[in-house]
Structure 1
Amino acid sequence: MESLSLAAPNRVPQGTVSYGSPSDDCLVPAIPKPDFHALGIEIARQRLTRGWSLDKLGDASQLSRKTIINIEQGHKTPTIASVHALAHALGIPLENLIAKVCIRHTE
């Protein structure tokens, strides 16, 4: 018969994730959630700075008006292909848009 251990479970420090068995001692920082709302705000800001309507950005990016609305309002997690299309349509580097998902992460 196996014995049941009543020892306290191993605790993982807050802000880290444990991989492997407890004896592996492999702790890595937890990955913060991406801020897609900040990305949407930046896309809307870039669009409005140019005086573009949703339809104009949709035509330039070949994305539907509904998709752009959902991305701008943070209701939809955009695909990398959508962000790529928006960056090209707006004439800004892709990395400038992608950086917005990490804007509130602490070092």
Structure 2
Amino acid sequence: MLERDGSSREGSEPDSPFDRVALGRAVRGARLAAGLSPEVLAARSGVPLEDLIGMENATQDCAVRDVHAVAHALAVPFKNLIKSCCVDQ
């Protein structure tokens, strides 16, 4: 729950309209649908394997350029991955 100043009652960062877990699920789902291992997708996209795993597991923030590179390597529209993680739509 956000306070009027935008801070969270729990003392963490303000709630964000970005759902990192949903993005990770979308990336993993597209990778599995393409029949690729994380290692192959990392090599094709140029995204370091540990960053790709962090993206899929939602354990770290990811750069837009990395999501874009993954989308191209998977031959899926970038917007399809991004729209999955926007919670205000």
Q: TM-score, normalised by structure 2?
A: 0.78
Among 92, 97, 104, which residue is 2:76 paired with? 92
Structure 1 gaps of 5+ residues are 1-13, 19-30
Larger Rg: 1
**2: distance between equivalents of 1:68 and 1:80?**
12
Task: Report the Cα distance in structure 1 between the residues aligned to 2:83 and 2:4, rounded to whole angstroms.
Answer: 23
Runs of 4+ more than 4 Å apart: 14-18
Q: Are 1:33 and 2:29 an aligned pair?
A: no
Question: Identity of counterpart residues, as a percentage?
Answer: 30
1:73 aligned residue: 57
What is the identity, as a one-letter code, of the residue corresponding to 1:76?
Q
1:42 corresponds in structure 2 to 26
Report the CA distance between 1:33 and its aligned residue. Answer: 2.9
Give the Cα–Cα distance (whole angstroms) in 1 for the partners of residues 4 and 17 of structure 2. Answer: 14
1:101 shift after superposition: 1.2
Q: Which has the higher contact order (CA 8 A, sep 6+)?
A: 2
Task: Tell me the equivalent position of 1:27.
Answer: none
Q: Kindly indicate which of the two structures has a greater share of residues assigned to helix.
A: 2
Number of matched pairs: 81
Alpha-carbon distance in 2 for matches of 1:77, 1:55: 19
**Shift of residue 49, structure 1, vs aligned partner:** 1.1
Gaps of 5+ in 2: 6-14
Distance 1:41 1:57 in 2: 15
Q: RMSD of aligned C-alpha atoms?
A: 2.3
Aligned: 1:51 with 2:26: no
